[in-house]
Amino acid sequence: MKKTWVLITDAEHARCFERDATHHALKELVDFTHPHPSLQGTKGHGRTGHAGTQFEPQTEAHAKERANFARELADYLNKGVAEQRCHVLVLIATSPMLGELRPHLSHESEKRVLTSIASDLTQYTGHDLEKRVNDVLSGH
């Protein structure tokens, strides 16, 4: 039986589930939390050196943290595929995270992606999450 992993993520939280092929129940495999320590207590200041409307340092730090988190998630998925613990991948992520995650997937993992959907389901749990995942996958 093919095992399907469903990754649900935004820039700070991710959960990876194994989806039951018969009942479509989701069994949580791992929960990732990636707070942005480089952003805590920082304020972006524009090029003028005082508070203004430009927030380039914070924006750059946020993008770097998102890229690091995406790499961590891709490493987990790549390992699962390489160890044959996963046969099909479903990626449900915010648009920025999809853009960061996909380039870090191995060639073999990329071939296993059934679908990738730009959506934020990180706040849902239990039956509500299962229903939303099933709705998203109903066309596949």
Render each residue's pLDDT in the chain as its tens digit; 140 residues.
789 999 999 999 999 999 998 888 999 999 999 765 544 444 444 444 445 455 455 678 878 888 999 999 999 999 999 999 999 999 999 999 999 999 999 999 999 999 999 999 999 999 999 999 999 888 66
Q: Beta-strand (E) ranges in 20-119?
A: 26-33, 88-93, 113-118
Distance, in Å, from the CA atom of 74 to the CA atom of 9, rounded to the nearest integer, reads 12
* Residue 88 domain flag: yes
Residue 44 lies in a domain: no
Would residue 23 count as lying in a domain? yes
Q: What is the pLDDT of residue 27?
A: 96
Query: What CATH number corresponds to the domain at position 93?
Result: 3.30.420.60
d(CA 23, CA 54): 50
Range of the domain at 21: 4-36+57-137
User: Could you tell me if residue 52 is inside a domain?
Assistant: no
How many distinct structural domains can be found in the chain? Answer: 1
Tell whether 130 is covered by a domain: yes
Return the pLDDT at 113.
97
In this structure, are residues 16 and 74 in contact, taking their beta carbons and an 8 Å threshold?
Answer: no
